[in-house]
Structure formats: C-alpha cells, structure tokens
C-alpha cells in the first residue's frame, strides 16, 4: 500500500484559558490559519474536532479529513482518533502530529522535518527545547491509537527514546502556540505589522 505524508492536527480543545473559541474567532480564525500555513507539506491532513463543531466551506478541502471525537479536548484522545483513521486507511504511512494553535509554523518548516525523518520519531529542537510537529513512523501507529485522556504521546517518546531523532531548527515557530489572550494579541499585532510592510 502506498505511503503518504500525513498530518494529524489536534483541534478539539476547549480554549478554556482564552475565554472564547480561538479556533473559529475572527479576524483570523486560528484553525484555518494553521491548516492553510502547513497544507502544502502534506498529502492529507486528518483534523480532529469536536462532535458539535461546524465545519464551514472555508475549512473544507480535498486534502483534509475531519474526524469527530468525544473527549477530544484531551490531546491523547485527539491523537488516538486521528491515528485510528490513518491506521484504517493508510497503515503504511508515517504521521506528523500537529497542534491546531501553532500559526507561526509554515509548510517549509514541516517539509524540512519531513526530509530529515528516516525511522522512529523525529522532532524539532530550538535552543534546546523540543517542539512540534512530531513525526512518528508507521510502525508506531498502533501505540498512537491506544492513547487516551490519561496518557499523552510523551509516554511513547519515553518508551522509544532511543529511536528519537532531534533536528535542530533556526526558528522558534516550532515552540510558539496561542494559549492565552496575550499570545493571541501578539499574533494579531504581528500579522497587522506584516500587512503594513
């Protein structure tokens, strides 16, 4: 069976620290921005959302599959839901696990990591800190499928520490997510500044 370059995007979180749903809030809906930024790096994106999420036409694409999951606000449960889809439809493919709230990442960053990936687990490191996305080989899909609310992917990293390849990168985009309102406001300001130049 043909192997594909696949991303699992965990997008079912509750944004409790933000006070609003950052995934769909204007003027720059975070989920759409993240997906559009990294799309070119992948053949398929498996986006894990909540059962009640309204997926609009602006999010839909022939290169995206939306998987709905109960309890997906747990990162482990979201990853497992995405991995089960990949395991069923593309079992010989590796997967890159993404967070939906990392809009500074670009397709170029992701392709750089993908080219570095050979086997096992590949992850980016910026100034000594590990970031995202994390790429898992197809033989680890079974373990990703078993993740739950109590066990995140960090447990898999511990079990397979000898199979981890750390790739040094020159950007903190692999670390920067949007967790609190200050992050959100800084991101919006940065986008406005880019538009003005």
The answer to whether position 33 is within a domain reads yes
The answer to whether position 1 is within a domain reads no
Q: Kindly state the DSSP code that residue 80 receives in the 8-state scheme.
A: H
Angstrom distances, CA of residue 40 to CA of 52, 187, 191, 194: 28, 22, 20, 21
How far, in Å, CA of 133 to CA of 114, rounded? 10
Render each residue's pLDDT in the chain as its tens digit; 197 residues.
567 899 999 998 766 677 788 888 877 788 999 999 999 999 999 999 989 888 877 788 888 999 998 765 688 999 999 999 999 999 999 999 999 999 999 999 999 999 999 999 999 999 999 999 999 999 999 999 999 866 678 899 999 999 999 999 999 999 999 988 899 888 888 876 554 33
Domain encompassing residue 114: 6-196
Q: For residue 61, count other CB atoms closer than 10 A to its CB.
A: 14
How far, in Å, CA of 196 to CA of 132, rounded? 29
Q: How many domains does the chain have?
A: 1
The answer to whether position 89 is within a domain reads yes
The answer to whether position 180 is within a domain reads yes
Beta strand ranges found along the chain (DSSP E) = 6-10, 44-49, 64-68, 95-99, 121-126, 129-130, 134-136, 164-168
CATH number where 70 lies: 3.90.550.10
The answer to whether position 167 is within a domain reads yes
Closest Cα partner for 16 from 185, 188, 183, 180?
180
What is the structure's pLDDT at 134? Answer: 97
How far, in Å, CA of 132 to CA of 134, rounded? 5
């Amino acid at each position: 069976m043909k192997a594909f370059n696949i991303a699992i995007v965990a997008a079912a979180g509750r944004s409790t620290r933000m006070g609003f749903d950052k995934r769909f809030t204007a003027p720059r809906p975070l989920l759409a921005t993240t997906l559009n930024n990294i799309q070119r790096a992948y053949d398929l994106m498996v986006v894990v959302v909540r059962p009640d999420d309204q997926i609009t036409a602006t999010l839909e694409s022939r290169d995206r599959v939306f998987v709905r999951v109960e309890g997906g606000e747990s990162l482990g449960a979201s990853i497992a839901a995405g991995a089960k889809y990949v395991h069923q439809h593309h079992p010989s493919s590796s997967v890159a696990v993404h967070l939906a709230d990392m809009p500074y990442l670009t397709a170029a960053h992701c392709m750089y990591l993908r080219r570095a990936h050979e086997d096992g687990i590949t992850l980016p490191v910026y100034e000594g800190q590990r970031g995202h996305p994390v790429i898992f080989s197809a033989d680890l899909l079974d373990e990703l499928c078993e993740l739950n609310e109590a066990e995140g992917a960090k447990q898999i990293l511990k079990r397979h520490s000898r199979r981890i390849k750390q790739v040094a990168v020159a950007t903190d985009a692999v670390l920067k997510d949007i967790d609190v309102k200050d992050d959100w406001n800084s991101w919006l300001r940065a986008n406005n500044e880019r538009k003005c130049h």
